[in-house]
């Protein structure tokens, strides 16, 4: 009998089901009650950020793209630069503006999170069947999104960083299973906005680079706005700017810092945080590892997001390490460089690295094998670079040959390496690469040194642990300090050389030659900073050690002896300097011969000592000998020959032999330009020296033109604050002063003085010299009080720093005495002048040019007081000595003769005054030219003498000629032109 079948009802969802013989379990589900589809709404898991800062018009650009049918837009950038925050803000704005559009949010950090997000969409829109286990929810949501009848929608796919999540099968079967990317519809009623760290994935998801928006750091203005929004107020604007720059303008790092400051207020302030951040790398790591507690970041562990910036980036590192270890190694090496200008040549593996790694014998490699291997190495490097760029961890510079990184990314990478126990490995690789690439500081290496120096500064901050690596590191610091010293970056040079010295002393011993080389360079750095006592101490140590180890006549010993002599020279200890220079020169002659380059250098040094002592004939003799030897040995166009010619020209100039100085100067300059180029240091030096000759000749326009060119070229080549640039700036200022362009002179001199104060310190001799020059400009303008204040400062500092009898101290005393004289403070002026004269007589001798200048100044003070006989006596004494030492037609001799003529005139001794006046004028016309300012001065004085004699017609004619020439030469605005014009007007009217 057949079994009775009971009545059974099937719901619509399984209508048409036929059951034959079925051994499987049949599940019966009660039919789901229909749910009404809700109206469109926004499902954004994060609230809007009240501290959000707009990043230009990027949200408007994204909005325009998302308004297009089936659009896909990607925001790409490094972790922490604000991709998700932009997406959150955009989603809220989009929802507020398009209330009839669905807004969905899916976290795409893992496949599980994507599937979870799709299930959430199914729940939000009440899809029928979504809860049944056998239903493919991904397909269900895909179908719903693809149906235009369901309305417009925006899907935000956030943190899609791992390409495996979207591009690999959900079943684990790469070949057969469906990929999550296939469930992202390209429906005309929808748009997808993606945030990702992976540029390559962004391109694969969007299909075009035109809808990819790469986000970098904020602008400084945006970063400051974010910091202010987070803190409420910025207590210190400068500290705030420094802080956001220190944080690489990265939004997450700024938010993290603000949260830290707020949590620890009032004990921690913005300034305190900045101070702590700058203390050390370990302190920075600690601060940047602090979790900021931002609820707008997806903090679930499987998402990998974090409110600590360093942790955020380490997710990317781990991912790259698992996908492509060689790219992670490249990133590790790059993390030790300076963040900018990382040269490709230093990080690219050598072409034979592949062969070496495989331990293949050279004889086993054919030409084609070698080429294939090279190509493979090339391709592997490019692939490594590509993945690092895709993750925005490195950037390509404009020249495409160097790379850049965020400093915080480098810090995070080094922290990651330290945690993995790999820091020493890559630090060794970095230091070894730099040591083999960075040359000595010699001029021919400057281009390479300039390109790599920032990375040497980075290397100086690291402390290797292994002794052999420390030796390599110390050599690197030695060369880096060498270059920094020659560039005038004395503080940097001192720091590097001190580190190298200490390391070499510990590893090699204090008497090792490498250690002594570091000590010698450090001493030269002290020397250029005016720290002559410290330089002397180190140089003495080197000399004594080398004498004991190498002997007194070894070239290295002699070189250090010459350096000590230079220090004595700067200290004004010219007798001791001369003695040492003579010793070095004679030893070199005996050891190497009279025409050896070291011998010639020592002769030149000795000549400069004579030069400063006013022994110009002896200096000339040595310089001539050096020049002729160089000509015979090296040729007339060799740089060393040209340098010797420049030195000789300087001596000619001091001797008043201006035509000879000019002739040599022009020849040297033209040869340097032709052989070395217009911007070579030797060329610029020759141009500066020739400009000084033009200035002495009163050819100030020509001098100005050369000095301007030298200054601008040095600015471009060396920087505005390089010592040589500052020297040329000061020279140009002096020319402006000679031209009566005092405002321009003052501006430049103030600039030089302030820069030297900042770079060298207020008490450095060069700073004091520039301060004195500014005081002279004040004095020329009759601003006596300002001049006196500066001159007093220079004098007191010089006394303390250099000693009361140092030549520079005596010069400052003489300048102050002149100011007293101009103020009519005759007794104070006289007292100072007498002190200067007596000291100079004792130190330099009665016939030294500087001694004679101070005697001449004292005579002028007597003259101004009406003490004619005392003035006359001193003027005669100076004239006779200058005639004997310098010759009758030397500019200084003629100046004294002109002063004596004025004294005769004031005494009513008209004939004697006229005779001297005519002699001075005619000699100046012959030697300097009729238009030279000094010639015009003597014409004006002679006119006064004739006027006093009642020879009005001749006086008027002479003064008219003087005014006319001064108009042509100096210009109408020059003070001397104005003074002579005023005198002429008075004479004509009377």
Q: End-to-end CA distance of the chain: give it in Å, rounded.
A: 160
176, burial (CB in 10 Å: exposed 0-12, middle 13-18, buried 19+)? exposed
- In DSSP terms, 213 is beta-bridged to 75
Give 509-534 as a DSSP string: -TTSHHHHHHHHHHHHHHHHTT-HHH
Q: Given pLDDT bands bounded at 50, 70 and 90, which one contains residue 19?
A: very low
Distance CA 244, CA 173 (A): 47
Question: What is the rounded average pLDDT for all residues in the chain?
Answer: 88
Q: What is the pLDDT of residue 639?
A: 86
CA distances 917 to 298, 443, 878, 935, 944, Å, are 94, 51, 17, 11, 10
| pLDDT higher than threshold 50 for residue 369 | no
Q: Given pLDDT bands bounded at 50, 70 and 90, which one contains residue 918?
A: very high
Query: Residue 430: is the preceding peptide bond cis (ω within 30°)?
Result: no
Beta strands 190-196 and 102-107: pairing type?
unpaired
Q: Are the CB atoms for 720 and 951 separated by under 8 Å?
A: no
More confident residue, 145 or 312: 145
Q: What is the pLDDT of residue 24?
A: 43
Q: What is the pLDDT of residue 362?
A: 33
Give 563-623 as a DSSP string: HHHHHHHHTT-HHHHHHHHHHHHHHHHHHH-TTSHHHHHHHHHHHHHHHHTT-HHHHHHHH
Contacts of 275 (CB under 8 A, 6+ apart): none
- Return the CA Rg of the chain: 41
Q: Report, as an integer, the average pLDDT of 458-486.
A: 95
Contacts of 608 (CB under 8 A, 6+ apart): 569, 619, 647
Q: Report, as an integer, the average pLDDT of 217-233.
A: 93
* Strands, E assignment, 284-400: 342-343, 395-396
The 402-404 sheet, strands edge to edge: 342-343, 402-404, 395-396
- In DSSP terms, 796 is beta-bridged to none
| pLDDT higher than threshold 50 for residue 934 | yes
Q: Each residue of 162-208: pLDDT tens digit?
A: 888 999 887 655 555 789 999 999 999 999 999 999 999 999 999 99
Q: What are phi and psi of 77, to 5 degrees?
A: 175, 165
- Diameter over CA atoms, the chain: 167
Nearest CA among 111, 229, 102, 84 for reference residue 168: 111
Q: What are phi and psi of 110, to 5 degrees?
A: -140, 165
- In DSSP terms, 155 is beta-bridged to 104, 192
Q: What is the pLDDT of residue 802?
A: 84
Q: Are the CB atoms for 489 and 513 separated by under 8 Å?
A: no
| Other beta carbons within 10 Å of 393 | 26
Distance CA 435, CA 476 (A): 5
Q: Each residue of 300-309: pLDDT tens digit?
A: 544 445 567 8
Distance CA 96, CA 82 (A): 21
Percent of the chain with pLDDT over 70: 92
Question: Model pTM?
Answer: 0.75
Residues across the chain: 990
- In DSSP terms, 157 is beta-bridged to 106, 194
Positive or negative, the CA dihedral 105, 110, 114, 119 is negative
- SS3 at position 77: strand
Q: What share of the chain is helix, strand, coil (3-state, %, to 5)?
A: 70, 5, 30
Beta strands 342-343 and 212-215: pairing type?
unpaired
- Please give the DSSP secondary-structure letter assigned to residue 6: P
Q: What is the pLDDT of residue 171?
A: 63
Q: Given pLDDT bands bounded at 50, 70 and 90, which one contains residue 356?
A: very low
Q: Residue 110 region, left (φ>0) first, then alpha (ψ -120 to 50), else beta?
A: beta
533, burial (CB in 10 Å: exposed 0-12, middle 13-18, buried 19+)? exposed
Nearest CA among 158, 92, 89, 149 for reference residue 120: 158
Nearest CA among 977, 899, 987 for reference residue 946: 987
Q: Of 427-436, 492-501, 848-857, which range is least confident?
A: 848-857
Distance CA 110, CA 487 (A): 54
Give the helix/strand (H/E) hosting 57. Answer: none
Distance CA 28, CA 787 (A): 106
Q: What is the pLDDT of residue 976?
A: 85
């Amino acid at each position: 009998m057949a079994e009775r079948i009971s009545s059974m009802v099937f719901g619509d969802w399984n209508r048409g089901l036929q059951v034959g013989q079925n051994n499987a379990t049949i599940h019966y589900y009660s039919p789901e009650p229909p749910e009404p589809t809700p109206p469109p709404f926004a499902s954004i898991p994060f609230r809007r950020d009240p501290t959000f800062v707009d990043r230009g018009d990027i949200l408007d650009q994204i909005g325009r793209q998302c308004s297009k049918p089936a659009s896909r837009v990607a925001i790409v950038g490094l972790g922490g630069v604000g991709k998700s925050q932009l997406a959150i803000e955009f989603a809220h704005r989009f929802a507020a503006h398009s209330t009839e559009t669905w807004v969905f949010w899916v976290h795409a950090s893992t496949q599980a999170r994507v599937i979870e997000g799709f299930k959430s969409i199914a729940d939000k829109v009440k899809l029928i069947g979504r809860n049944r286990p056998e239903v493919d929810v991904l397909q269900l949501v895909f179908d719903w999104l693809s149906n235009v009848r369901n309305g417009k929608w925006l899907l935000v796919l956030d943190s899609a960083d791992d390409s495996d999540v979207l591009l690999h099968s959900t079943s684990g079967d790469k070949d057969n299973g469906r990929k999550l990317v296939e469930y992202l519809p390209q429906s005309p009623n929808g748009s997808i906005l993606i945030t990702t760290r992976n540029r390559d994935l962004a391109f694969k998801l969007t299909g075009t680079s035109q809808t990819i928006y790469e986000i970098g750091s904020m602008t400084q203005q945006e970063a400051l706005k974010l910091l202010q929004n987070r803190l409420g107020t910025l207590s210190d604007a400068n500290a705030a700017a420094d802080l956001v720059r220190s944080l690489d303008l990265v939004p997450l790092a700024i938010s993290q810092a603000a949260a830290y400051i707020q949590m620890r207020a009032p004990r921690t302030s913005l300034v305190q945080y900045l101070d702590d951040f700058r203390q050390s790398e370990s302190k920075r790591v600690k601060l940047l590892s602090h979790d900021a507690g931002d609820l707008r970041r997806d903090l679930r562990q499987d998402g990998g997001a974090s409110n600590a910036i360093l942790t955020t980036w380490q997710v990317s590192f781990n991912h790259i390490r698992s996908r492509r270890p060689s790219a992670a190694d490249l990133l590790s090496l790059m993390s030790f460089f300076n963040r900018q200008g990382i040269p490709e040549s230093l990080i690219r593996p050598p072409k034979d690295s592949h062969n070496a790694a495989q331990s293949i014998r050279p004889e086993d490699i054919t030409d084609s094998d070698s080429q294939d291997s090279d190509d493979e190495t090339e391709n592997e490097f490019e692939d490594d670079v590509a993945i690092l760029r895709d993750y925005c961890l490195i950037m390509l510079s404009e020249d495409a040959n160097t790379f850049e990184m965020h400093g915080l990314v480098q810090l995070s990478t080094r922290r990651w390496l330290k945690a993995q126990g790999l820091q020493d490995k890559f630090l060794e690789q970095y230091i070894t690469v730099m040591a083999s690439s960075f040359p000595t500081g010699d001029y021919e290496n400057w281009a390479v040194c300039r390109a790599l120096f920032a990375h040497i500064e980075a290397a100086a901050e690291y402390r290797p642990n292994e002794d052999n690596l420390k030796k390599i590191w110390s050599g690197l610091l030695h060369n880096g300090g060498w270059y920094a010293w020659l560039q005038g970056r004395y503080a940097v040079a001192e720091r590097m050389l001190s580190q190298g010295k200490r390391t070499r002393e510990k590893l090699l011993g204090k008497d090792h030659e490498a250690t002594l080389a570091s000590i010698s360079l450090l001493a030269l750095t002290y020397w250029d900073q005016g720290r002559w006592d410290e330089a002397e101490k180190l140089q003495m140590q080197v000399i004594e050690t080398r004498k004991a180890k190498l002997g007194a006549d070894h070239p290295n010993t002699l070189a250090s002896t010459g350096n000590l002599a230079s220090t004595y020279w700067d200290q004004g200890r010219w007798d001791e300097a001369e003695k040492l220079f003579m010793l070095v020169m004679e030893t070199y002659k005996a050891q190497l011969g009279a025409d050896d380059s070291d011998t010639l250098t020592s002769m030149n040094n000795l000549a400069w000592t004579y030069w400063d002592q006013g022994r110009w004939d002896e200096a000339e003799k040595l310089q001539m000998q050096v020049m002729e030897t160089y000509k015979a040995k090296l040729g007339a166009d060799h740089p060393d020959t040209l340098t010797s010619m420049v030195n000789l020209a300087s001596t000619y100039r001091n001797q008043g032999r201006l035509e000879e100085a000019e002739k040599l100067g022009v020849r040297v300059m033209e040869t340097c330009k032709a052989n070395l180029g217009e911007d070579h240091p030797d060329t610029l030096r020759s141009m500066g020296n020739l400009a000084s000759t033009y200035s002495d000749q009163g050819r100030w326009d020509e001098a100005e033109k050369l000095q301007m060119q030298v200054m601008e070229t040095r600015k471009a080549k060396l920087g505005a604050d390089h010592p040589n640039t500052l020297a040329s700036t000061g020279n140009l200022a002096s020319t402006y002063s000679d031209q009566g362009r005092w405002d321009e002179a003052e501006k430049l001199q103030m600039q030089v003085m302030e820069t030297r104060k900042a770079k060298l310190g207020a008490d450095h001799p060069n700073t004091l010299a520039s301060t004195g020059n500014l005081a002279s400009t004040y004095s020329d303008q009759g601003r006596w009080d300002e001049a006196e204040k500066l001159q007093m400062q220079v004098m007191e500092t010089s006394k303390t720093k250099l000693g009361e009898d140092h030549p520079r101290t005596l010069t400052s005393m003489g300048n102050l005495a002149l100011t007293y004289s101009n103020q009519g403070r005759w007794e104070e002026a006289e007292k100072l002048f007498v002190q200067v004269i007596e000291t100079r007589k004792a130190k330099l001798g009665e016939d030294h040019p500087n001694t004679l200048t101070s005697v001449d100044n004292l005579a002028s003070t007597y003259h101004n007081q009406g003490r004619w006989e005392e003035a006359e006596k001193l003027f005669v004494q100076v004239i006779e000595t200058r005639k004997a030492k310098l010759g009758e037609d030397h500019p200084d001799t003629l100046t004294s003769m002109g002063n004596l003529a004025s004294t005769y005139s004031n005494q009513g001794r008209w004939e004697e005054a006229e005779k001297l006046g005519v002699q001075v004028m005619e000699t100046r016309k012959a030697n300097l030219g009729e238009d030279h300012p000094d010639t015009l001065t003597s014409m004006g004085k002679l006119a006064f003498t004739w006027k006093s004699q009642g020879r009005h017609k001749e006086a008027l004619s002479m003064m008219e000629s003087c005014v006319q020439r001064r108009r042509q030469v100096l210009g109408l605005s020059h003070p001397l032109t104005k003074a002579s014009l005023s005198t002429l007007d008075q004479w004509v009217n009377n």
